[in-house]
C-alpha cells in the first residue's frame, strides 16, 4: 500500500520534515532501505547508519532529527510510530468469514456471521465466537469457551472447556489454554491427581506466543489481564495472575498461584516458584531464579557470568566452599 | 452432585465431626466457600482463614480439627481427601464411545467398542485402543501404538509408531510421545543423523502435561514407569528411564540415557545432563543444574539468589575471580 | 533387511576383519546384541562390554579392534558408520505419494506427484512441495511456503506463510516455523505490537525437534543454514541466524537478532540474549547464560554446581556479599 509522506505523518500523528508528496510503500531497515521505503531509528547504536541511509524517509526522535540526511518523521516514540507504519504499509491479508466445511462445529455453538472458523477445527458445545474473530486451521475449542471480537487464533491452538477470552486476543500456533494444572496430592506411596476445576480468564489485547501454555485454575481461575504480551514456550501454571501490560519473554516458567504485577517485564528463561507476589513495575533479567516475593519496583537478577570452561570449572567448585571462606575470613580478621 | 456429609465421609474414608445430614455439592477455597461447599486446609499458612470460613464442612488434619468452627472431615491426609472430594462432587463429563466420522482410522486398527476416537484424529495401522479410552480431537496415533484402558488423550496429542501406553494414562494437549531422539554423529565437517529405532514404554497411571515431549529410544526404549506425573513443557530425551511415582514439574529437561529413580521430585526448570543415575527419593529444587549422578536420597540445589540488578552486577563479576581469591586467601593465611 | 558382513563393509566403506559370509539383519547395543546383530563401540567407557559381546560383528576404531573377540568393522568414525548401518539394516517405511482425501489443499498449490500430503493437512495458496517430500498428518502449511525435495514433516507441524525450506529438511511434531517474533513497542502505558513481516529461510539437511519454534523475522529473515541440527523445545527468535552445521540441544533459547556461528554446539538449556555474535566453533555447556558476544572459538560455561540443599543455602546467601568480601579482603591485605 502506498501513501504520501503527508498522509503517513497524519496517520501516525508525527511531525514531517521534508517533501510531503513523496510516496512510500514499505518499511525497511536503515541498511536495506531504498527509494519508497520508510526506515526508523529507535536504538542509538544504529545512529551511524543514518548518514548513509537511502530510505525516502526515516522515523526518528527529535534528538536524532538533525542527523537525518533525508525526510524525517519526528516523534518522541519512534518505535511505536514504526510499528504503526508497518500496519499501515503492510496491512494483513483480509479477514475471512464463515465456517470451512471440514470444521466440526457443535450445533449449540454461537459463531458470529463475520467470524471465520478454519479447516479441520473442532468447536464444542456452547462456544461463543465474536465478530471478526479468526479461528485458523486445526484449532480445538472446548465446551463453553467464549472468544471475544477480532481475536486471532493463528493455527493449531487449543482452548479447553470454559476459558474466557477478551477482544483482540492473539494466540499463536501450538498454544494450549486451560490444560490441567499440576495438582498432585502425595499419598505417601504415590500421587493422587487433584482435579482442576477452575478456568482461565484472558483480558483484551493479550498476545500469547507459539507453544506457550496457560493452565486452568485448580479452584478459582488463572488470570491474564488486559494488554499482557507473552512470547513463545512460556509456562503459566494454575491460579497464576499476571497484571495488565506485563510482558513475558520466551521460555519463562511461572509456578502455581504466583501473582505478577502490572507493567512488569520478565526476560527470557526466568523462573518463578509458586505462591509469590511480585509488585508492579518489576523487571527481571534473563534466566533469573525468583524464590521470594518482590515488593519494590526495580530491576532484579540472578545467575553467574559466562567464562571459559577451564576457568569456570575452577571457580564453580569454589562456590561449594563459599560459606566456609566467609567464616574463615571473619575469624581471621578478628 | 450433592451428597450428605455422612455419605461424603464414608466415600472418603474419613471421620466426620458435625451434622451428617448437611448437604454439600461442591468444593471451594477457605476464603470463597459458602453454604453447601466443602473446603480444606492442608497448608498451615492458611490456618488463620479457618476461623472465618463459611463452608458447610472443612477437610482437616487432626491437629487443626479443634480450630474448625464448622463441621470437620478429619484425616491424616487432607489434600488427598480433598482431591477425592473434588472427583466425587465434580465428576467429569461422561465418557463418549465410538469413532467420529471425521477421524481417519486404518482398517487394521483395533479400537474397543467402549473407546472414543474424536474429531480429525488419524489412527494408523495396527493401533490398539483399550476399553473406555478417550482420544480427543486432532490426535495422531502412529502404527502399532498400544493404548491401554481408560486413557485420556485430551486433544492434539501425537503418539508415534510403536509406543506402548498402560492404563489410565493421561496426555494433555500438544504432548509428543516417540519423536526421534537427538542422535547426531559428527563426521568432522557436519552431522550424520543416527536413526532412532527404539520406542517408548509408559506405565499405568502416568500423566504428562501440555506440550511435553518424550523421545523414543535410539536402541532400546525410553521408559516412564507407573504413577509418574509430569507437568507441562518437559523434555524427556531418548533412553531416559523415570522410576515409578516420580513427579516432574514444568520446564524440566532430562538428557539422553539418564536414569531417574523412584519417588523423586524434580522442581520446575531443573536440567539433567545425560548418562546420569539418580537414586530413589532424590528431591531437586527449581532450576538446578545436575551434572553428576546422585547416589544418596535427599534434597539438592544449585543456582544463585535473586538480587537487585546493581548489586548482582558487582557480585557476579567477582565469581570469575573466586578461585583466585581462595588461592590468595590461602597464601595469606600461611 | 539382511546383508553379509562383506556387503555391509562395502556399503559403509569400512574395513572388515572376520568372516564376510556371516549375515546380519539388525543393530543392537554391546550388551543386548546376539547372533545376526551388529554392535558398535564409540565411547571408551563401554570398552569392557566388548569382551563379552555376543554380536556377529562390531563397528570399532582401529585402537579397539584388537580387543574385539568377534568380527570387526574397522573405521576411524565408528559412530558415523553405526548411524549408516542403522539406515541400511532398518530402512524407514516406504514413502507415500499423493494427497489424502481429508486434506484441504488450495487449488493454487503445486505439489509434486511423488510427494505425500497426509490426513487432515491444510495447504494454503501458492505452496510448493518438492519431489518425495512427506507431509504427515495434521500439518498446516501457510501461503507461499516452499518445501524442497525429500523433506519430512512428521505430523502436526505448522509452517506459516512465506517460509522457505531446503531439501531433506526434517521437522518433528509440534514444530512451529514462522510464528511472529516478539516485537512489542512500549507506549509508556502499554505495548504496541510490531507487525512481523520478515520470513524464515531454512537450508538443506536441517532437522528441528518436537515442539521447537523458529520465529519469522521482524524485517528481513530468520536464517537456519544448511546442516543445522536442533533438538526439542528450542526457541529461535526473530532475525536470529544460525550457521551451518551447528547443533543445538533441547530447551535452548536464542533471543532476537543473535547470530550463532558455524560448527557450534549449544548444550541443553542454554540461553542467549539478543543482538550477540557468536563465533564459529564455539561450544557452550548446559544451562549456561550468554550475555555477551563470543569472538574466540572454545568451550564456555556458567552456572553453579549442585550441592546438598542445606549446604547450598549457606553458600547461596554468601553470593550476595561476594563483592563486599573482595573489597574487605583487598583492604585487609594492604
C153, C134 contact by CB (below 8 A): yes
Listed in sequence order, the residues at least 6 apart from C163 whose beta carbon sits closer than 8 Å to its beta carbon are C142, C145, C146, C177, C178, C199, C200, C201, C202, C216
Report how far residue B185's alpha carbon sits from residue C78's, in angstroms, rounded to the nearest whole number. Answer: 9
Is C44 near chain A, with CB under 8 Å? Answer: no
Chains in contact with chain A (at least 3 beta-carbon pairs closer than 8 A): B, C
Across the interface, of C294, C300, C304, the residue whose CB is closest to A316 is C304
Name the 3-class secondary structure at B13: coil
Residue of chain A with shortest Cα separation from C234: A233
- C-beta atoms of B251 and A271 within 8 A: yes
Interface test with C, best of A58, A137, A234 (most C CBs within 10 A): A137
The reply to whether A32 touches chain B by the CB within 8 Å rule is no
Q: Which CATH architecture group holds A3-89? A: 3-Layer(aba) Sandwich (3.40)
Interface subset of C 247-266, CB within 8 angstroms of A: 251, 253, 255
Q: Which residues of chain A lie closer than 8 angstroms to B323, CB-CB?
A: 311, 314-315, 317-318
Q: How far off is chain B from C82, nearest CA to CA, in Å?
A: 8
Q: Which of C182, C189, C304 sits opposite A250 (nearest CB)?
A: C182
Least CB–CB distance from C319: residue in B233, B284, B315:
B315
By C-alpha distance, the chain B residue nearest A297 is B308
Dist CA A59 CA C2 (whole Å): 68
> Of these residues, B90, B172, B238, B275, which one is catalytic?
B238
Query: CATH 2.160.10.10 residue ranges in chain B?
Result: 98-300
Identify the CA nearest to A9 among candidates A92, A54, A21, A1.
A21
Side-chain-side CA neighbours of B166 within 13 Å: the count stands at: 16
Q: Is B332 a catalytic residue?
A: no
The CATH label, of 3.40.50.1220, 2.60.40.1120, 3.40.50.2300, 2.160.10.10, for the domain at A98-300 is 2.160.10.10
Rounded Cα distance, B57 and B40, in Å: 8
Contact C303 B305 (CB under 8 A): no
ipTM: 0.96
Q: Do C288 and A305 touch (CB under 8 A)?
A: no
Exposed e or buried b per residue across C153-189, where buried means at least 16 C-beta atoms within 10 angstroms of its C-beta: bbbbbbbbbbbbbbbbbbbbbbbbbbbbbbbbbeeee
Q: Which of A120, A146, A238, A281 is catalytic?
A: A238
Q: CA of B270: which chain A residue's CA is closest? A: A271
Give dist(CA C316, CA A291) in Å, integer. Answer: 12
Give the whole-angstrom CA distance, residue B233 versus residue B252.
Answer: 7
Give the residue numbers of C marked as catalytic: 238
For chain A, say whether B67 makes contact (Cβ under 8 Å): no
CB contact under 8 A, C306 and B302: yes
- DSSP-derived pairing of the beta strands A307-308 and C298-301: antiparallel
Q: What's the DSSP call for residue A8?
A: H
Q: Is B295 on the interface with C (CB under 8 A)?
A: no
B327 close contact with C: CB closer than 8 A: no
Mean pLDDT, range B235-250, rounded to an integer: 98
Residues of each domain in chain B carrying CATH 3.40.1390.10: 3-89
Q: Which residue from A77, A172, A269 is facing C271, i.e. has the nearest CB?
A: A269
Q: What residues in chain C have per-residue pLDDT under 50?
A: 334
Distances (CA, A) of B234 to B184, B249, B265, B268, B271: 21, 8, 13, 9, 10
* B104·C119 Cβ contact <8 A: yes
C232: contact with A, CB 8 A cutoff = no
C-alpha distances out from residue B291 to A289, B267, B288, B301, C286, Å: 19, 16, 10, 12, 9
User: Which residues in chain A are contacts of B83 at CB distance < 8 A?
Assistant: 183, 185, 192-195
> With a CB-CB cutoff of 8 Å, which residues 177-216 of chain A face chain C?
205, 207, 209-211
Q: Is B246 left (phi over 0), alpha (psi -120 to 50) or beta?
A: beta
C210 contacts on B by Cβ (under 8 Å): 158, 176, 179, 213, 215
**Cα nearest neighbour of A104 on chain B:** B119
Instruction: Please write the tens of the pLDDT for every residue from B184-208.
Output: 999 999 999 999 999 999 999 999 9
- Cα distance from A278 to chain C (closest Cα, Å)? 18
pLDDT tens per residue across all 334 residues of chain A: 899 999 999 999 999 999 999 999 999 999 889 999 999 998 877 888 888 899 999 999 998 888 778 899 999 999 999 999 999 999 887 789 999 999 999 999 999 999 999 999 999 999 999 999 999 999 999 999 999 999 999 999 999 999 999 999 999 999 999 999 999 999 999 999 999 999 999 999 999 999 999 999 999 999 999 999 999 999 999 999 999 999 999 999 999 999 999 999 999 999 999 999 999 999 999 999 999 999 999 999 999 999 999 999 999 999 999 999 999 877 665 4
Grid cell in block for residue B262: 523412584
CB–CB of B191/B172 below 8 Å? no
Q: Are B33 and B22 in contact (CB under 8 A)?
A: no
For B37-66, how does the pLDDT look when each residue is reduced to its tens digit (9 = 90+)?
Answer: 999 998 877 888 888 899 999 999 998 888
Interface touch C307/B298, C-beta < 8 Å: no
Chain A residues in contact with B322 (beta carbon < 8 A) = 315, 318-319, 322
Which chain C residues are within 8 Å of B140, Cβ to Cβ? Answer: 136-138, 155-156, 173
- From C218's Cα to the closest Cα of chain A, the distance in A is 10
The whole model's pTM is what? 0.97
User: What is the distance between the alpha carbons of residues A16 and B54, in angstroms, rounded to a whole number?
Assistant: 64
pLDDT higher than threshold 90 for residue B1:
no
Q: Supply the pLDDT for residue A334.
A: 44
- Is there a contact between C107 and C88 (Cβ–Cβ < 8 Å)? no
Cα gap A256→A241, rounded to integer Å: 9
Closest Cα in chain B, distance from residue C44 (Å)? 14
Distance of CA B178 to the CA centre of its chain: 18
pLDDT band at B331 (very low <50, low <70, confident <90, very high): low
pLDDT bucket at B334, cuts 50 / 70 / 90? very low
Buried b / exposed e along A89-115 (16+ C-beta atoms within 10 A):
beeeeeeeeebbebbbbeeebebeebb
Whole-number Å distance between alpha carbons of B127 and B108: 7
Q: Which chains touch C (3 or more CB pairs under 8 A)?
A: A, B
Determine the Cα–Cα distance for residues B219 and A33; give it in Å rounded to an integer: 52
Per DSSP, helices labelled H in chain B are 5-12, 62-65, 78-89, 309-318, 322-333
Amino acid at each position: 500500500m502506498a501513501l504520501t509522506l503527508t498522509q503517513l505523518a497524519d496517520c501516525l500523528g508525527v511531525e514531517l520534515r521534508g517533501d510531503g508528496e513523496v510516496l512510500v510503500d514499505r518499511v525497511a531497515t536503515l541498511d536495506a532501505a531504498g527509494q519508497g521505503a520508510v526506515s526508523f531509528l529507535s536504538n542509538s547504536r544504529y545512529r551511524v547508519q543514518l548518514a548513509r541511509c537511502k530510505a525516502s524517509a526515516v522515523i526518528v526522535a527529535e534528538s536524532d532529527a538533525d542527523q537525518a540526511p533525508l525526510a524525517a518523521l519526528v516523534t518522541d516514540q519512534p518505535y511505536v510510530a514504526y510499528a504503526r507504519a508497518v500496519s499501515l504499509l503492510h496491512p494483513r491479508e483480509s479477514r475471512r468469514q464463515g465456517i470451512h466445511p471440514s470444521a466440526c462445529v457443535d450445533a449449540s455453538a454461537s459463531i458470529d456471521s463475520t467470524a471465520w472458523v478454519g479447516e479441520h477445527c473442532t468447536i464444542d458445545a456452547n462456544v461463543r465466537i465474536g465478530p471478526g474473530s479468526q479461528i485458523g486451521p486445526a484449532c480445538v475449542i472446548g465446551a463453553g469457551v467464549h472468544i471475544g471480537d477480532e481475536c486471532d487464533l493463528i493455527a493449531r491452538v487449543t482452548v479447553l472447556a470454559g476459558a474466557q477470552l477478551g477482544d483482540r486476543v492473539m494466540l499463536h500456533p501450538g498454544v494450549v489454554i486451560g490444560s490441567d494444572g499440576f495438582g498432585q496430592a502425595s499419598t505417601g506411596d504415590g500421587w493422587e491427581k487433584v482435579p482442576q476445576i477452575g478456568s482461565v480468564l484472558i483480558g483484551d489485547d493479550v498476545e500469547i506466543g507459539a507453544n506457550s501454555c496457560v493452565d486452568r485454575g485448580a479452584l478459582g481461575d488463572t488470570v491474564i489481564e488486559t494488554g499482557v504480551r507473552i512470547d513463545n514456550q512460556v509456562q503459566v501454571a494454575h491460579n497464576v495472575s499476571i497484571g495488565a501490560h506485563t510482558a513475558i519473554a520466551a521460555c519463562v516458567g511461572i509456578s502455581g498461584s504466583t501473582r505478577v504485577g502490572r507493567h512488569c517485564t520478565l526476560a527470557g528463561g526466568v523462573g518463578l516458584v509458586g505462591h509469590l507476589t511480585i509488585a508492579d513495575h518489576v523487571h527481571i533479567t534473563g534466566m533469573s531464579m525468583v524464590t521470594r516475593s518482590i515488593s519494590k519496583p526495580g530491576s532484579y537478577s540472578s545467575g553467574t557470568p559466562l567464562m571459559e570452561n577451564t576457568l569456570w570449572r575452577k571457580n564453580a567448585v569454589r562456590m561449594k566452599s563459599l560459606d566456609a571462606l566467609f567464616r574463615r575470613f571473619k575469624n581471621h580478621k578478628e
